[in-house]
Structure 1
Amino acid sequence: MGGAIELFEQPAVGITVTALLLALAGLAFYFFWRSHRARTSRDIALARERHLRGQFEAVLSSARDGVLIVTQADEIALISDVAATILNVTRADAVGLPIARLNLRAFDEQMHPILMREAFGIGHTDTKPRIVGVPGRRGAEDVRWIQVRARVVPDGLDDGPVTVVTMMDTSGLREAAEALNRSDAQFRKAMENAPVGMALVDLEWRLMEVNRAFAEMMGSTVAALRGTPFSALSHPHDLTAERDQLQRLYDGHQSQFTCEKRYVRADGNVVWAVLDVGLVRYAGGAPDHYVVQVRDSTDDRMHSELMAHRAMHDPLTGLANRTLLQDVLQQVLEQPDAHTRVGVIAVDLDGFKALNDRFGHAIGDNALVHVAGVLRTATAGRGTVARIGGDEFVIVVQDADCSKALFEIAGAIHQGLKRPVQVKRHQITLHASLGIAMADDETTVGGAPSLMSAADAAMYRAKSTGKSRTEVFDPSMRTTSDTHSALASELAAAIENGQLVLHYQPILELSTRTVVGYEALVRWQHPVRGLLPPAAFLPLIEDKNLSVALGTALVDQAAQFLAHSPSPSTWVSLNVSADQLGDSEFADRVLSAIGRYHLSPQRLVVELTEASLVAPNTRIRHELTELRNAGVPILLDDFGTGVSPLSYLRDLPVSGVKLDMSFVAGIPEDPAGARVSRALGALARELGLATIAEGIETEAQAEFLSRCGWRYGQGWLFGVAQPVGALHETSPQFTASLIDPRPQENDSPLEIDDRTF
């Protein structure tokens, strides 16, 4: 029984153990389950942390600004790549590095750690950024400037708050700003010191800024001109000169423009200026302001106007010349009412040649200036007065009552000429012959030349009917209007009949004032018109054969004069033009005359003008050489003027030169003329040439030229050209000659046949 009970009770004990084991197993499973869940949560948290850290790193690396996290102990807890690059450190080296170990600068001095902490704003939240200097990459002196901003995070780390510092490298911006400031300073410095005027002008064409040169040009100051409307400075007649171009510039049709206009200075004077205008635009293309360069062109303008005036006006009297006269006359004739409003007066002085011959060209010029004043006064603004040559003047009259105006002007001219001209100690009264022609179908059939020809014909009628009077053109005068053509047709017979004669002007040795020779000057002893000067007929000779015939005829007259002169050493120079040379006929006539009259070759001198030898050909040179080899001296006239005189002296067989009277006229008062005369004389003597000065009218000129080495001279001071009979009556004493073998002081004689020229 007891054994059964023992057996029976034994399973209960086993059940209890089993339950206990099951309980322990469940408890173990529970804890395992909880541990697995915790690990899973941790893994998820770690993964999330890694993900967030990766995002944070991506944000830091992609941010434009650098980020620095500093602990409460002033150590770097985190630094971004951008911040490491800015501070020139590596991330690994920087983490844990005390902030004081960073090599920072402020105001070009090493920053104290406390100051560094303060500079970074550690422990503070900044309301505005700070500027800190960090070392550059180009040496110890290189400093880059960064902008930092700090913010305190209270629960940043376990050990307390942290300071998050963001930083941005502003070196590029500062360098750009400095470059911009430097560029602006350079522009302003260049503008201030520019030799030409410069201005910045707003879109309302108002001066924003000007430089000193512009202010001086305007006769004002820089301060006074700021804010002034640019147009307020403009001349009233030029207010709109740039308006259209400014609009085109504003609209983008052109990038700049240039114009010339007038401005009125503060003192009331007018200046001309050239404007170069450019438009400065914003980056988007919108207009901002104008940049204007202003160059004073007053001198250039005056010079060009002076040149234009000289081209269209007579230099002696200031009156219009022939070119301007023809332009004016043609323009007024093209007007619809020209036949009732236009007329011409031709004016020619009476006896002017005699005045020139007696008193010289300087006095003659003074007389012409006086006449010009009389004509201006008589015209009184009712027309254009012109000098067309010599003592010939023309007035183009344009008036509503032209017929009346023509006669009033003509009467005023005669009245004005009654006032005498003071010539040295003499009172000279001038007279003029006038011809009037009204514009009508008859006189304007050929335009302006036809009307002038009609007035000229009326003037010649006035001369032929008593002079010092006025004649009005009528068709019957057409036959006399061709006077020049008639003279040209008469020249051949005049040469054959001996009507062209020579007058002789003496040439003296300046040191002794003794006559050594003459220049032969041709005149026409016309049976009806009287004695005509060369200007009245020589320009009419267009036929070369006629020109050669004239030259050869005058050779015989000069040779005959020398044969009958009282001195065997007297010489005569004959003016010869290029069209008389080239076929050896002239040279043959000269050599024939020398042999026929038994003359020394040196006594007959050929005198050439430079103008006639602008382009000498080989035939002309050959003929000149032929004469020179025969002993005939060759003189170069008008020395110092014309084209390439030195080439003539080199290429042509020249024995002597004649100084042009234009150089003599101004000496000794004119320093430039004096220097030129002295230099030309020295050049001629250096080349071994005889030296003659023409146009001597005063004793001072003669003495100066003699001192300068000019050996011979001629001019009205020593006598005017006279016919042979007048010379024999005065019986001059010939005590020296151009071919005297004795060289003078400062002379370099040229040997020809053992004699000197």
Structure 2
Amino acid sequence: MRSVPTIDLTIGALLEERRVRSVFQPIVDLSTRTVMGLEALARGPAGTTLEFPDRLFAAASEAGRLGELDMLCFERAMESVLVAPVAPPLLFANSEPGVMDRPRSPWLMDLFAARPPFRTILEYTERALPTVPGSMLRLARTVQVDGNGIALDDVGVDPMSLAFLPILEPEVIKIDMSVIRDPDTEHSRTVAAVVRTEAARTGAVVIAEGIETEEHLATALRLGARWGQGWLFGRPGPIENVRHFDPAGAEMLRGSRPGFHQPMGTPFEVATRSRPARQRVPGDVEAGLIRLRETAIDHDCAVVVVSHPGLAGLLQGLAAPGRAVVLLDQPVGGEFVAAVVGPGFGYAMCARDSAMVTVDDLPTAAAVSRVLLSHTA
């Protein structure tokens, strides 16, 4: 139970005095219960009105200073790890989707340039995907260049996260605790099946959140989670509380892939790397658009991206709770491009001048979608 705050504190004073602290929760291998890494969680000064993260981040958002708080929380977490008696091989740190494009501080730039002796995994909630997909991909590229990784958090809360998984291909997929607590609903079974398939395809590590009992642990294993976190393994606390880690934790994650999230070239050029273009004939574009629309309608979870305002009519009636629709303001490279991607499927059509190429393999369709989305906010 939370204690009643007795000290009033403004967000301005907190930021100016850097009065944010980090607590850390272990992330463990579910089979061996060895600690693979730590997740950093932000807290304000104890006993103040801003001690807990809900009030802390709400106050920063209301004051228009969310970016400053986000950066400060990350810096404080890194500072704690750098002076810890034993550094974790993996540090998981949360970040707000609305401030992805905020420049790093010089201190953080110097730190990552020096390659610290641990790997950082930045966690982003599924809220980031439909709202700022371009920023998400640009950030993922920067993180990969540094040798670090991305985790998609709270997967299962919104069906939209399942649709974006093939586009983002995070190193870590974190299943929301609601799936672990109620695993036998149709929604939970769908989430688990999609996550298992995507993890097998990409090599992502699946983490189950909110494990508090042995029953939760058994459920997480049954759903395909490899790692987990929750009160069963340890509550958030000082970093000194955990001194023993599996040194192979960082090596168990897929290696970084610089450039993966922002492929070089136009959509047409990306598509023709896997399939040669052909001469376009009358009706080709229309047929391709019909197939794309039918593919999207046949799936509850999908991301549809269209590169040309002239193709806006294609999008009529496609929007749905698990289906994201993105229309670019202007063509990319003067091309007509439309793509649909979702769990286990993908299709893209690219037309340029008198040539056309269609692809129906997921990796290529996802790469085409990344090129398009990189031109959005």
Give TM-score, length-normalised by structure 1: 0.31
Q: 1:623 deviation in Å?
A: 2.5
Q: Say if 1:502 and 1:520, in contact at 8 Å, map to a contact too.
A: yes
Q: Distance in 1 between matches of 2:140 and 2:216?
A: 32
Match of 1:665 in 2: 181
Q: Distance in 1 between matches of 2:67 and 2:126?
A: 19
Q: Greater RCO between the two (CA within 8 Å, min separation 6)?
A: 2
Match of 1:740 in 2: 251
Deviations 1:246-300 (A, max 9, x none): xxxxxxxxxxxxxxxxxxxxxxxxxxxxxxxxxxxxxxxxxxxxxxxxxxxxxxx
Q: Distance in 2 between matches of 1:634 and 1:740?
A: 15
Match of 2:172 in 1: 656
Residues 633 and 753 of structure 1, relative CA distance in 2, 3 Å threshold = same
Q: 1:695 deviation in Å?
A: 0.4
In terms of fraction of residues, the more helix-rich structure is: 1
Residue 201 of structure 2 is aligned to residue 689 of structure 1: no
Equivalent residues in 2 for 1:215-230 (5 A)?
A: none
Percent of residue pairs bearing the same amino acid type: 25
Question: The residue matched to 2:37 in structure 1 has which SS?
Answer: strand
Match of 2:110 in 1: 592
Select 1:523's aligned residue among 38, 43, 54.
43
Match of 1:722 in 2: 237
Q: 1:691 deviation in Å?
A: 0.8
Q: 1:705 deviation in Å?
A: 1.9
Select 1:751's aligned residue among 251, 255, 259.
255
Q: Distance in 1 between matches of 2:227 and 2:62?
A: 35
Gaps of 5+ in 1: 1-351, 355-459, 465-482, 742-748
Q: Say if 1:581 and 1:623, in contact at 8 Å, map to a contact too.
A: yes
Q: Which protein shows a greater Rg?
A: 1
Residues 666 and 737 of structure 1, relative CA distance in 2, 3 Å threshold = farther
Q: Say if 2:165 and 2:198, in contact at 8 Å, map to a contact too.
A: no
Q: Distance in 1 between matches of 2:204 and 2:213?
A: 25
Residues 498 and 581 of structure 1, relative CA distance in 2, 3 Å threshold = same
Q: Say if 1:555 and 1:590, in contact at 8 Å, map to a contact too.
A: no
Q: Say if 1:559 and 1:604, in contact at 8 Å, map to a contact too.
A: no
Q: Distance in 2 between matches of 1:717 and 1:672?
A: 26
Q: 1:709 deviation in Å?
A: 2.9
Match of 1:146 in 2: none
Match of 2:226 in 1: 711
Aligned AA (1:633):
G
Q: 1:551 deviation in Å?
A: 1.9
Q: Distance in 1 between matches of 2:12 and 2:159?
A: 32
Match of 2:139 in 1: 623
Deviations 1:313-368 (A, max 9, x none): xxxxxxxxxxxxxxxxxxxxxxxxxxxxxxxxxxxxxxx337xxxxxxxxxxxxxx
Select 2:149's aligned residue among 613, 616, 633.
633
Q: Say if 2:151 and 2:173, in contact at 8 Å, map to a contact too.
A: yes
Deviations 1:144-178 (A, max 9, x none): xxxxxxxxxxxxxxxxxxxxxxxxxxxxxxxxxxx
Residues 545 and 589 of structure 1, relative CA distance in 2, 3 Å threshold = farther
Residue 91 of structure 2 is aligned to residue 572 of structure 1: yes
Deviations 1:79-126 (A, max 9, x none): xxxxxxxxxxxxxxxxxxxxxxxxxxxxxxxxxxxxxxxxxxxxxxxx
Q: 1:557 deviation in Å?
A: 2.1
Residues 731 and 638 of structure 1, relative CA distance in 2, 3 Å threshold = closer
Select 1:701's aligned residue among 197, 200, 216.
216
Q: Distance in 2 between matches of 1:684 and 1:569?
A: 27
Select 2:68's aligned residue among 545, 549, 558.
549
Q: 1:624 deviation in Å?
A: 2.5
Equivalent residues in 2 for 1:289-688 (5 A)?
A: 352-353=1-2, 487=9, 490-525=10-45, 529=48, 532-542=51-61, 546-567=65-86, 569-585=88-104, 590-595=108-113, 598-600=115-117, 603-642=119-158, 644-652=160-168, 654-667=170-183, 670=184, 672=186, 675-676=189-190, 678-686=192-200, 687-688=202-203
Deviations 1:437-477 (A, max 9, x none): xxxxxxxxxxxxxxxxxxxxxxx9xx86xxxxxxxxxxxxx
Residues 583 and 561 of structure 1, relative CA distance in 2, 3 Å threshold = closer
Q: Say if 1:515 and 1:732, in contact at 8 Å, map to a contact too.
A: no
CA RMSD of aligned residues (A): 3.1
Question: The residue matched to 1:608 in structure 2 has which SS?
Answer: strand
Deviations 1:696-715 (A, max 9, x none): 11112213322443111001
Q: Distance in 1 between matches of 2:237 and 2:228?
A: 17
Residues 620 and 573 of structure 1, relative CA distance in 2, 3 Å threshold = same
Q: Say if 1:640 and 1:680, in contact at 8 Å, map to a contact too.
A: no
Q: Distance in 1 between matches of 2:176 and 2:108?
A: 26
Q: Distance in 2 between matches of 1:664 and 1:707?
A: 10
Question: The residue matched to 1:542 in structure 2 has which SS?
Answer: helix
Q: Distance in 2 between matches of 1:672 and 1:646?
A: 14
Give TM-score, length-normalised by structure 2: 0.60
Q: Say if 2:123 and 2:150, in contact at 8 Å, map to a contact too.
A: yes
Question: The residue matched to 2:198 in structure 1 has which SS?
Answer: helix
Q: Distance in 2 between matches of 1:507 and 1:702?
A: 13
Q: 1:618 deviation in Å?
A: 2.6
Q: Distance in 1 between matches of 2:169 and 2:193?
A: 21
Q: 1:590 deviation in Å?
A: 4.3
Question: The residue matched to 1:353 in structure 2 has which SS?
Answer: coil
Residues 737 and 590 of structure 1, relative CA distance in 2, 3 Å threshold = farther
Aligned length: 257
Aligned AA (2:250):
I
Residues 681 and 651 of structure 1, relative CA distance in 2, 3 Å threshold = closer
Residues 523 and 651 of structure 1, relative CA distance in 2, 3 Å threshold = same
Q: Distance in 2 between matches of 1:664 and 1:714?
A: 12
Q: 1:676 deviation in Å?
A: 4.1
Q: Distance in 1 between matches of 2:167 and 2:67?
A: 24
Q: 1:534 deviation in Å?
A: 0.9
Q: Say if 1:544 and 1:580, in contact at 8 Å, map to a contact too.
A: no
Q: Say if 1:499 and 1:524, in contact at 8 Å, map to a contact too.
A: yes
Gaps of 5+ in 2: 259-377
Q: 1:591 deviation in Å?
A: 4.0
Q: Distance in 1 between matches of 2:107 and 2:64?
A: 14
Match of 1:428 in 2: none
